[in-house]
Amino acid sequence: MPPKLTDIFRRGLRRDAVAPTTRSYERVYSNDAADSLERRKTEYRRLTNHYYDLVTDFYEFGWGKSFHFAPREANESFAASLARHERRLAQRLELRPGMRVADLGCGVGGPLREIARFSGATIVGVNNNAYQLERARTLTEEAGLDHLAEFLECDFMRMDAPDASFDAAYAIEATVHAPTKVGCYDEVFRVLKPGKCFAAYEYCLTDRFDPDNARHRKIKRDLEVGGALPNIVRPHQVDDALRQVGFELLESVDLVETAGPGIPWYQPLAGSPTSLAGFRSSRAGRLATRGALRILEALRIVPGGSTRVTELLNMCATAMVASGRLGIFTPMYFVHARKP
C-alpha cells in the first residue's frame, strides 16, 4: 500500500523536530562564501542525516522504495526500469548465493531486496540514517527476505567492518554524498577481498556543464542544496579517485549517453504521468502535494515545516529536469572496478 500524505512524519522524526531540523539543514547551505563547500564537507554526516530524516517519508510517498533513477525503455513501467537498473549491478558483479555484498547507502532497501531476490547473495545494507534502517528492516522482513539481508548502521566513509570481508560492493546514487571520493573509495577498497569488485551509479556533471554559465551554476547549486550533496564532480574525477586508491577500472560509462531513444531518465519528475505513483512525482503532482500539505500544516495534521521540506524537494526536482534537458548532469555514471 502506498503511504498517504497524512502518514508523513508519523513514524520517524518527532513532530516538533521537523521545523528546527529543516532550519539546521538549510543553514549549512546558507551562503555562497568560500567556506560553504568546506562546511558541507565537514558537516556531511549531520547534513545527510537531517536530510534523510526529513525526506524519507516524502520519497516513499512520491517515488517508492528505491530512491534512484534508471535508463527508461519505451513500453516499460517505471518500476520495471528501476528493477532492471538494479539487476544490472548484480549481473556485472556476478553475484550469487553464498557471497556477502555491501550496499553503500542502502536507503530503505528497495534495491537491496531486488538484488538479494535476483542473485541469492547476502546483501549488507550500510546506512548512517537510523530511520531509514528501521524502515529497511521492517520492509525486508515483510518481504520475507531477512535471511538474505543484514544491516549496518555506520558511515560508509568509516565502515564498521573488518578488512577484506566482502565479496563485492555496490552503491546506487549514494556515494555522491561522500565528502571526498578518494576517502570513500579507499574505504570500499579496504573492506573488499582481493580480486573482488565494486560497481556504482554516480551523480556527475557532464562535459556540457559550463562553470562560466550562470544558469548551469544555479542548477548545480539547486541539485546540491535540494539533495544534501557537498559537491557534484566530473566523470574523470570519479575515475581518477578509483585509480588513486588502487582499483583497476574495468569500465566507466555514462548510461544516459548509451541509452536508446526511450523515455528520458528525468521523465518521472517532468510530466505525463500514467499512474497514481507517477502523478505524485510529476510536476503537477508535486504542486498538488505542496498545496495539500499547506492546508494539512495549517490544520496541524502534519507538523510545522512539512511544506518547506517539499519546497526543497521540488527545487531539486526542477533542477533535475533542467539538468537532464540541458544534458549537463547524469545520475547514472556507471563504474565497475576491481581490487587487484
Ligand X SMILES: C[S@@+](CC[C@H](N)C(=O)[O-])C[C@H]1O[C@@H](n2cnc3c(N)ncnc32)[C@H](O)[C@@H]1O
Write out the residues near ligand X by the rule CB under 6 A. Answer: 48, 52, 66-68, 105-107, 110-111, 126-129, 132, 155-157, 172-174, 177
Closer Cβ to ligand X, 7 or 155, answer by number: 155
Beta carbon of residue 51, minimum distance to ligand X (angstroms, whole number): 8
Instruction: Identify which of residues 121 and 297 has a Cβ nearer to ligand X in the complex.
Output: 121
Residue whose CB is less far from ligand X, 171 or 297: 171
Residue with CB nearest ligand X? 105
Task: Supply the minimum distance, in Å, between the C-beta of residue 338 and ligand X.
Answer: 22
CB of 294 to ligand X, least distance (A): 26
- Closest approach, Cβ 160 to ligand X, in A, equals 11
Q: Which is nearer to ligand X, 177 or 339 (CB)?
A: 177
Q: Which is nearer to ligand X, 156 or 334 (CB)?
A: 156
CB of 41 to ligand X, least distance (A): 11
Shortest distance, position 213 Cβ to ligand X, whole Å? 26
Q: Which residues pair with 192 in a beta bridge?
A: 166
Neighbours of 292 (CB within 10 A): 15
Nearer to ligand X by C-beta: 66 or 330? 66
Residue among 151 and 156 whose Cβ is closer to ligand X? 156
Least distance from ligand X to the Cβ atom of residue 288, Å:
23
Q: Say which residue the cell 550469487 belongs to.
A: 96
